[in-house]
Structure 1
Amino acid sequence: MLTEVKMRALLADPPTTRMELPDGSIPGLYLRVGPTRHPTWTFRYVVKGASGTTSRGTKLAGRKFYRLTLGIYPYVSLREARAKAALMIADIEQGINPANEIERQAEADTSAIYTNNMLADAYMETHVSPRLKSERTAKWVFKEFIRPKWGDRSPEGITKQEVTKELDRLLSRKSKAAAIETRKWLSSMLNWAVDSGRIQFNPLIGIKAPARFTARERVLSMAEARAVWAVAGEMGYPSGTLVQLLMLTACRLREIASVQTSWVDTVNSCIVVPGKSYKTGDLTVVALVPRALDILNNLPKQEDGDFLISSTNGYRPLYTVTPSALKKLKDDSQKRLGRVMDHWTLHDLRRTVATHMARLSVDEILIERVLGHRIGGVRAVYNRYRYLEEKRAALALWTVELLPSSGPDGGSRYEPANDDQPWVKGDLFRTGFDG
């Protein structure tokens, strides 16, 4: 009997000659394997009452064998192949030929004229939006890379060569993320289209990811962080405000960029982020130091919506700093610092806050709570609103370091050393604090 373990072994070490392996569980279900082709599920069956003749005119004994392809492993799993075959057996027992049903559906369906744009619309509506938290990333990839290149094309007319060439172009001219995400989402959509019967095969099968994501380790030194803070203040609303709030809260970009009026609890000095807007899916409470609360309280009044950081008067969130604003932020920070800064991103600000809080002897578990990482065990479920003051105290300690001109009580304090060297505590921040 076939098992997932046996089939993974076949993928790792395919046979030198073509073989047809019976499932052993569902009669007529086979896996065709060979040295050059991907393992393919086939279903061989006889319909009750059917008949025919051989090519020489010899009559068959009241039976005619049919064979259907059910998909390619591992894109169609063992369980899925058995389920498909079992449904067809039920039809066969009633004298219904699955092959005829498939032909009828193909004639009634317009799948032969599907374009990638049509597939993308259906894929986003029925699969991505209701099931995946990465909907925003998917929309970005389809809008920027997949639709402009292949949108009006038939999916089955795409060749491996042109896909590989396009991924190489994205890798060299855009970014590693653009190439990786384009291949990932295009292949995922086509696998979905095959499984749902919209197309016959996925032309991307066999194309590997063009690169691998590597965990970033960039941590801004205190001198760099102070320069970025100062320039962000000069830039003002909305981009500069967004950057300063990121630095005061250690939040992810999405959480601060999407903050709405109803999320801000001024009484308890915190932001209550709904689970649907948070990466972990959990309702999360973000502590606000006095400076962060002051910034939120003095934002421009939005007339057209509830989003506090917006370039459309509150109708839509800012989402991110524009490329031109980010370039100005980096260029002016370097001028203020008096030297060239190594490449950094907005997400590196979150890692920077976590790293320097650890340098200031903040407990690692408390840092995890500040970052909003999911804490294991029952405590994570029942104690969402606990540790609010502890998180605020940890962020206040960091804020005093970032803004050395004032102490936690609002008075002046000593000027710390203008540390211009990034500080990393072992490998801790390359793993635990990178999300």
Structure 2
Amino acid sequence: MKLRLTDLSIRKLGNPQGGQTTHWDATTPGFGIRCSAKSKSYVVMYGAKRRLKTIGRYPVLSLSDARRQAKLFLASQATVPNDAIEHDYQDVLSAYLTDCHGRLRPSTLEGYLLYLNGIKLDGPISEICQRSVMQAIERFTTSPTSRNYAFTTFKVFFNWAVRRQYVTVNPLSNLKRPHKTTSRDRVLSEDEIKVLLSYTLGQMDRYCGIVSLLLLTGQRRGEVAGLRWDEISDGWLHFSPDRTKNARGHAVPLGTLGLQILNRAKTHDVFVFGDADFDQPFSGWSRAQRRLLRETGLPHFTLHDLRRTFATVHAKLGTPIHVTERLLNHVSGTVSGVAAVYNRHSYEQEMVLAQSTLDRFLCRLIEEP
């Protein structure tokens, strides 16, 4: 009930025999006095969930002081994000993905969409706990690597939600990735390289062209798969910062074998390995890789293993490691510290020589009986 609270009206308020009765001030919204069997206490109501806070007891605290404290408290609450507001998980996820579209590289966004759209969670985001997230991930995939990627994706998402004040705490903040990871060390042997290149260079499909160029240049999968005709000039591949993992512009020379692959690639307006209908970058990696392994009989390897193989072969051929790192577009490595700041030599001649040496080695390897 509401009434105009004064010293006189408060003195006249009776104490109920049982329970509590709250009288709200007609002049100060959210401020009132709660009467119980033995006492009277000033209270203030705040927040979307209409929480109550006790300010002090009457008559120890005067009405004027209690009203002033109530106004100060309510003013302070107005400047604090209201964590009582419930935000639906799907609404927050939609806002996050919209934000991601504007700032993430397409390959990164593709991975986020895979897990965030594929792993279903519902309800208020504040009620989503560790257990519900981890169980949803386990239902979605049995692969340890995929579970680790999914976990990291959700941890990044909840960190974003905390920063945007959709939720007060990240439910995954004190957890580590569910599976320990070990660095891959798979390097294709010379016999395997011979089998692989003999097969891929003899095929005309886009995937074999990509695989061949990955082994010949040591570049990353996304860089080669999304290769555009305007990124090729005078026997070099030129990648702008937005096309590389480390956001650094990069160029790598091609040898004879690499140029042969580009010369026989089907002509599309934009992408070297674009599809016939829509001229879009290659997709369907898993199926194509299974077919390649089946038809060559090679033991399992990933496309990133070709990058490691490229570096290993260059080491065998005597290519200086700093030149190999330039070919791979590695930021950190043998040239670091003060040398990295002042050494602006591009190593173009050394890179061309190294790639020519690799090209001759691979040609001899393929031609061996």
2:244 to 278, 295, 305: 278
Distance 2:95 2:199 in 1: 44
Distance 1:331 1:65 in 2: 80
- The RMSD of aligned alpha carbons is 3.5
Aligned to 1:323: 286
Secondary structure of the equivalent of 1:230?
Answer: helix
Question: Conserved in 2, the CA contact under 8 Å of 1:285 and 1:388?
Answer: no
Q: Deviations over 1:117-150 (max 9, x none)?
A: x323322333x455555x6334323x32332332
How many angstroms does 1:153 deviate by? 4.2
How many angstroms does 1:243 deviate by? 0.5
Matched, 1:364 2:321: yes
How many angstroms does 1:264 deviate by? 0.6
Distance 2:263 2:228 in 1: 12
How many angstroms does 1:182 deviate by? 1.3
Distance 2:107 2:68 in 1: 48
Secondary structure of the equivalent of 1:123?
Answer: helix
Aligned to 1:120: 93
**Contiguous gaps of at least 5 residues in structure 1:** 1-49, 67-90, 335-339, 407-411, 419-435
Question: Conserved in 2, the CA contact under 8 Å of 1:119 and 1:193?
Answer: yes
Question: Conserved in 2, the CA contact under 8 Å of 1:228 and 1:330?
Answer: no
User: Would the alpha carbon gap of residues 106 and 295 (structure 1) be closer, same or farther in structure 2, given more than 3 Å must change?
Assistant: same
Q: Deviations over 1:164-208 (max 9, x none)?
A: 22334456x2x2231112111212212322331223443334443
Instruction: Please say which of residues 379-388 and 247-256 is displaced more in the overlay.
Output: 379-388
Aligned to 1:24: none
Question: Conserved in 2, the CA contact under 8 Å of 1:164 and 1:207?
Answer: no
Question: Conserved in 2, the CA contact under 8 Å of 1:307 and 1:314?
Answer: no
The 5-angstrom pairing of residues 38-49 of structure 1 reads none
The 5-angstrom pairing of residues 338-377 of structure 1 reads 341=299, 343-374=300-331, 375-376=335-336
The 5-angstrom pairing of residues 172-211 of structure 1 reads 173=142, 175-211=143-179
Looking at CA atoms only, which structure, 1 or 2, has the larger radius of gyration? Answer: 2
Aligned to 2:114: 144
Secondary structure of the equivalent of 1:97?
Answer: helix
Aligned to 1:298: 264
Matched, 1:155 2:145: no
Matched, 1:215 2:183: yes
Amino acid at match of 1:264: I
Distance 1:317 1:154 in 2: 38
Aligned to 1:401: 361
Amino acid at match of 2:360: V
Matched, 1:250 2:214: no
How many angstroms does 1:405 deviate by? 6.3
Distance 1:51 1:193 in 2: 33
1:389 to 349, 355, 359: 349
Percent identity for Structure 1 against Structure 2: 24
Secondary structure of the equivalent of 1:112?
Answer: coil
Aligned to 1:26: none
Distance 1:197 1:54 in 2: 33
Secondary structure of the equivalent of 2:201?
Answer: helix
Question: Conserved in 1, the CA contact under 8 Å of 2:256 and 2:359?
Answer: no
User: Would the alpha carbon gap of residues 385 and 238 (structure 1) be closer, same or farther in structure 2, given more than 3 Å must change?
Assistant: farther
Q: TM-score, normalised by structure 2?
A: 0.73
Q: Deviations over 1:203-256 (max 9, x none)?
A: 334443101332111000011111111222344221010001111111111111
Secondary structure of the equivalent of 1:272?
Answer: strand
User: Would the alpha carbon gap of residues 100 and 288 (structure 1) be closer, same or farther in structure 2, given more than 3 Å must change?
Assistant: same
How many angstroms does 1:403 deviate by? 2.3
Secondary structure of the equivalent of 2:252?
Answer: strand
Aligned to 1:88: none
**Contiguous gaps of at least 5 residues in structure 2:** 1-29, 41-56
Distance 1:236 1:138 in 2: 30
User: Would the alpha carbon gap of residues 276 and 377 (structure 1) be closer, same or farther in structure 2, given more than 3 Å must change?
Assistant: farther
User: Would the alpha carbon gap of residues 313 and 331 (structure 1) be closer, same or farther in structure 2, given more than 3 Å must change?
Assistant: same
Question: Conserved in 1, the CA contact under 8 Å of 2:87 and 2:166?
Answer: no
Aligned to 2:46: none
Question: Conserved in 1, the CA contact under 8 Å of 2:83 and 2:165?
Answer: no
Question: Conserved in 2, the CA contact under 8 Å of 1:170 and 1:178?
Answer: no
Distance 1:299 1:356 in 2: 26
How many angstroms does 1:307 deviate by? 1.5
Q: Deviations over 1:287-318 (max 9, x none)?
A: 11122123213321214xx1211225563211
2:205 to 229, 237, 244: 237
User: Would the alpha carbon gap of residues 326 and 53 (structure 1) be closer, same or farther in structure 2, given more than 3 Å must change?
Assistant: same
**Alignment: residue pair count:** 315
User: Would the alpha carbon gap of residues 384 and 262 (structure 1) be closer, same or farther in structure 2, given more than 3 Å must change?
Assistant: farther
Secondary structure of the equivalent of 1:210?
Answer: coil
Distance 2:236 2:97 in 1: 34
Question: Conserved in 2, the CA contact under 8 Å of 1:138 and 1:185?
Answer: no
Secondary structure of the equivalent of 1:403?
Answer: helix
